[in-house]
Amino acid sequence: MPYYYFYGFDPAYLLLIVVSTILGMAAQGYIRSTYRKWSNVPASSGMTGAQVARRMLDEGGASSVGITEIGGTLTDNFDPRDNKLHLSQENFSEGSVASVAVACHEAGHACQKAKGYVPMKVRTALVPVVNFATNAWTVVLLLGIFMGLAGFVRLALILFAFSVIFELVTLPVEIDASRRAVKYLAANGGGIDEKGAKQVLTAAALTYVAAALVSILQLVYLMGRYNDRN
């Protein structure tokens, strides 16, 4: 957060860093421990994450969506640009409750697209704007500080605000995808699948909540420093 470096020591900035770090580590630790726990529990269907996701896609009106395997752990995602679920190796080929839950969550995103889920449309429309804003706001802020141009600093805050809006719009998209996954597993799996999916996907949702909260705190901090400066 470059704005800080031009004001000397700031306890508020230090507190923000500490809080942000704790929130991020706690959220990541929780999702990893929960995922690990349910990775050791076989799903009742006996199918892999990719197989269950395939069925969910076909029944949810998204049969044209493909499924591919990617590297990494918890790198799973649905990419509307190539219309494919990209599942990490574990969740693609294994049949644990965690694998099935994550795969169905990503299938939930594909079903959102197929059904025209409005928050997802908004999120997708914001992507190019947010990509530009994320890359530009720091440069604009530094120019504003070095050149003493309050208008540039204000513009940097507006650009950063788009990132915050994106984080907030992401929340209902992720929560709804998890809801779709749990609902599908409750109707097509066993009680263990539903219970595990709720725990795994709730833990995953908390990472998005933490990210949104950190972004809001950063924006509030920057706006406060800007107002103090002026």
Catalytic residues: 106
64-95: string of b/e by CB count within 10 Å (b at 16+)?
ebebeeeeeebebebeeeeebbbbbebbbebb
| CA–CA gap between residue 74 and residue 99 (Å, rounded) | 10
| CA–CA gap between residue 29 and residue 53 (Å, rounded) | 26
Structure tokens at 142: 């530094």
Looking at the chain, which runs of residues are DSSP E strands?
A: 66-70, 77-79, 84-88
| 10 DSSP 8-state letter | -
DSSP 3-state of 78: strand
CA distances to 66, 126, 130, 192 from 165, rounded to whole Å, are 30, 9, 9, 36
The dihedral over CA atoms of 101, 104, 106, 107, expressed in degrees to the nearest 10, equals 180
